[in-house]
Structures are given as C-alpha cells and as structure tokens.
Amino acid sequence: MILRDLIALLDRIAPPHLAEAWDNVGLIVGDPGQIVAKALLAIDYTPEVAAEAKRLSCNLVIAYHPPIFSPIKRLTAPDPMFDAIRSAIAIYSPHTALDVADGGTNDFLADLLEMEDRRPLRLIEPKARQYKLITFVPEPDVERVAEALFAAGAGRIGNYERCSFRSSGTGTFLGDESTSPAIGSKRVFETAAEVRVETACPIARVMDVLAALRTAHPYEEPAFDLVQLAAPPEKSGQGRIGRIAPAAVGEIVAKVKKGLGLAHVLLAGPADQVVEKAAVLAGAGREHLKDAIAQGAGLYLTGEIPHHEALSAAKAGMTVIATLHSNSERGTLGRVRERLAREAGGVEFVLSQVDRDPFSVV
C-alpha cells in the first residue's frame, strides 16, 4: 500500500485538525510515495522500538508520541531518527488528534469505566484550516486557471471537489515602461473583461496553489486575495466526563488494572467512596484536573498528576487513579490496529512487544 493512502486512513481515524496547537502530528519521517508492507504500533519511538521495527522488517512505525516536537539543528548516528531515515522507515504520530477523536484514546478509558452520557472534559479551540483564495482572470483563461488551482489542492469542501464561485466584472490596470501586459499596451490605461474566481484553499497547500496560479495565469502580476476562514465550532475536546454505574473505588481500581493489564496503579484521595460520575484524561492530567473538579466528577482516571494537584483533588473529595503516563495511552493502540487491519488491505500491523512506560512500581 502506498504510504500516502495509509496516511489518509490514519488522518480519518485521528483527524490532524483536532490536535493541540503545540503538537506535531502526522508524518514525521518518510516518503509519502513509498510502499508500506508492514507497520509497527508503539507509544514511543525508543531505540528498543527502532530495533524491533528493523528486526520485524517494518517500514512504518506508528508512534503515538511524536519523536520530534520542535525544530532540530542536527541529526546524526546513533539517533534512532537518523537510522529511520537511512533505513527508509517512515514514522507517523497521531498523539493529541487521537486523544480527541471519537473512539480514540480518551474514549478507550471511558469505555473501561462503562461511561454513559459522556462528553468532552474540555472543548478544543477551533483552529483555522483554510483560506479563501480570490483571484481575477480574463474570461478566455478561466477554465485553465481554475483547473490548475484544483490540481494544486484548492476547491475541496467536505466530500466535494472542484468547488468555486465565479462572477463577471471589469478589471483595470496601467502598466509602466518596464511591463509587458498580456492585454493591451504599457503606459496605456486598459480595461478587461475578467471573472472573479473564489475557491477554498487548505492552509497546508497555499504555497502550491499560489505557485499554480502564477504559472497558469496569463498576467505578469495576477491579483489575488487570501482571506483566512474562521473554523466552525467543534464539539470535540480533550478528556471525557460522564455517568458510571455506582461503584466503590476498589471495584473501579480492579476494573482499570484488568483493562490496562497493570499490576499496580497510584491512588490519591478518598479510597472508600462510591462513585457515580467520573472523568478520564489520557497522559498528563494536570491541566484538566480543575475541569474535572468543576464539573463534579467523583473520580479522575489519568496517566500522571503532580503532588500538589493530587492534594487539591483529595481536598475536593475526588479520587484520582494514576496509571503512569503511557500506561493510560497504550491500550488504544489495539483498537487502532484492528481498524487499520480491516481497512488497509495488504499491510500487516503488529503491536510492539518492547514498548513500555519508562517507570515501574517496584
């Protein structure tokens, strides 16, 4: 299977626009045109996971945590990223996009608690994803220019392609001595019958689309406007909160340990209460603890939480279950693998056997 087609499937599972603004999701390393026959799923791209991928002849690693978060100045051996590039092993990371997505990381934790009437613990801030490109084209050249824009990635709205709006008008211009106008003469005020073409342009493709516009447009200096479009409100968000069947803390702890395959978890706050409303947040739970308290959750299931926040939760009468960071995330990889196996024919997907949280309870 060609990697770009597999990326399209991964992007449907964990839409990149749902990711946090600080995150670095998507294809981290690799050639979108390369063939993928076998893929390894893991939380972290560690040296152990890198060696496992090579041993199993995997040419794609789906690493939940991006191995690159910020710009790097050099990449040399023995860094696993250098070796991935040299060995043509692609790396794709869904991270917070998978957390937010329906059926993703946080829904996996909510399912462990059999949570009902669930909703996001905190809605995500919508991020602009598109520009509206507006340009003005002489009537005889409209179709040629429009086709070039569409081929470069403009004109998609939902499941529709080649979308545009066109209206006729009159353009005016006066070129100086250095110009070679496609219509009329330099130093002569000209008018031309033009068509205003409006089309959507993904922010990620804007440079390609503008290059296509300049190549296809007959004018030396095609006029255009780029208007950033406000993103519609999202109903998606980080974490989940909802009702659970009334259960003692001990019962919930046993359910979490079994569901995540853990021998131990960390517990803070009341250990003897009955819980009817719970919140979950995969990974680092510090930022969303106040949301869980404010919305009346009696229990908060997360990966990790600092000392003082655990005290705050206990003071508020909330029980906290902390599994260690990546232990709260790893279970969702099985679900991702199952869906990929169903929908990506010809590719073998395997779960890492060496990927584990760096901490253990001894």
Q: Give residue-wise pLDDT tens across range 100-114.
A: 999 999 999 999 999
Q: How far apart are CA 135 and CA 200, in angstroms?
A: 12
pLDDT confidence band for 11 (50 / 70 / 90): very high
Q: Write down the pTM of the prediction.
A: 0.77
**What tokens appear for 152 in the block?**
């470069």
Residue 33: alpha-carbon gap to chain centroid: 20
Average pLDDT, the chain: 94
Q: Does 245 have pLDDT greater than 90? A: yes
| Per-residue model confidence (pLDDT) at position 138 | 95
Percent of the chain with pLDDT strictly greater than 90 = 81
| Per-residue model confidence (pLDDT) at position 352 | 98
| Per-residue model confidence (pLDDT) at position 1 | 94
pLDDT confidence band for 30 (50 / 70 / 90): very high
Q: Does 83 have pLDDT greater than 80? A: yes
| Per-residue model confidence (pLDDT) at position 315 | 96
Contact (CB, 8 A) for 2 and 35: yes
CA distances (Å), 209 to each of 155, 156, 167, 215, 353, in order? Answer: 10, 12, 20, 10, 44
Q: Does 233 have pLDDT greater than 70? A: no
| Per-residue model confidence (pLDDT) at position 58 | 97
The residue whose two tokens read 């399209």 is 8
| Per-residue model confidence (pLDDT) at position 235 | 79
| Per-residue model confidence (pLDDT) at position 337 | 97
Burial class (CB in 10 A: 0-12, 13-18, 19+), 338: exposed
Closest of 110, 81, 130, 117 to residue 259, by C-alpha: 110
First to last CA, the chain: 43
Mean pLDDT for the stretch of residues 279-284? 97
pLDDT 10s digits, 31-59: 999 999 999 999 999 999 999 999 999 99
pLDDT confidence band for 148 (50 / 70 / 90): very high
Q: Does 223 have pLDDT greater than 90? A: yes
Q: How far apart are CA 250 and CA 256, in angstroms?
A: 10
pLDDT 10s digits, 158-205: 778 999 999 999 999 898 988 888 888 888 998 999 999 999 999 889
Q: Does 139 have pLDDT greater than 80? A: yes
pLDDT confidence band for 126 (50 / 70 / 90): low
Q: Does 231 have pLDDT greater than 80? A: no
| Per-residue model confidence (pLDDT) at position 177 | 86
| Per-residue model confidence (pLDDT) at position 326 | 97
Q: Give the 3-state DSSP-derived string for the chain, with helices as H, strands as E and coil as C.
A: CEHHHHHHHHHHHCCHHHCCCCCCCEEEECCCCCECCEEEEECCCCHHHHHHHHHCCCCEEEECCCCCCCCCCCCCCCCHHHHHHHCCCEEEECHHHHHHCCCCHHHHHHHHCCCEEEECCEECCCCCCEEEEEEEEEHHHHHHHHHHHHHCCCCCECCECCCCEEEEEEEEECCCCCCCCCCCCCCCCEEEEEEEEEEEEEHHHHHHHHHHHHHHCCCCCCCEEEEECCCCCCCCEECEEEEEEEEEHHHHHHHHHHHHCCCCCEEECCCCCEEEEEEEEEEECCCCHHHHHHCCCCEEEEEECCHHHHHHHHHCCCEEEECCHHHHCCCHHHHHHHHHHHHCCCCEEEECCCCCCCCCCC
CA distances (Å), 4 to each of 63, 90, 357, 362, in order? Answer: 17, 11, 30, 43
Percent of the chain with pLDDT strictly greater than 70 = 98
| Per-residue model confidence (pLDDT) at position 354 | 98
Q: How far apart are CA 96 and CA 91, in angstroms?
A: 16
Range 246-262 burial, b when 16+ CB lie within 10 A, else e: ebebeebbeebbeebeb
pLDDT 10s digits, 318-343: 999 999 999 999 999 999 999 999 99
Q: Does 232 have pLDDT greater than 80? A: no
| Per-residue model confidence (pLDDT) at position 277 | 98
| Per-residue model confidence (pLDDT) at position 239 | 97
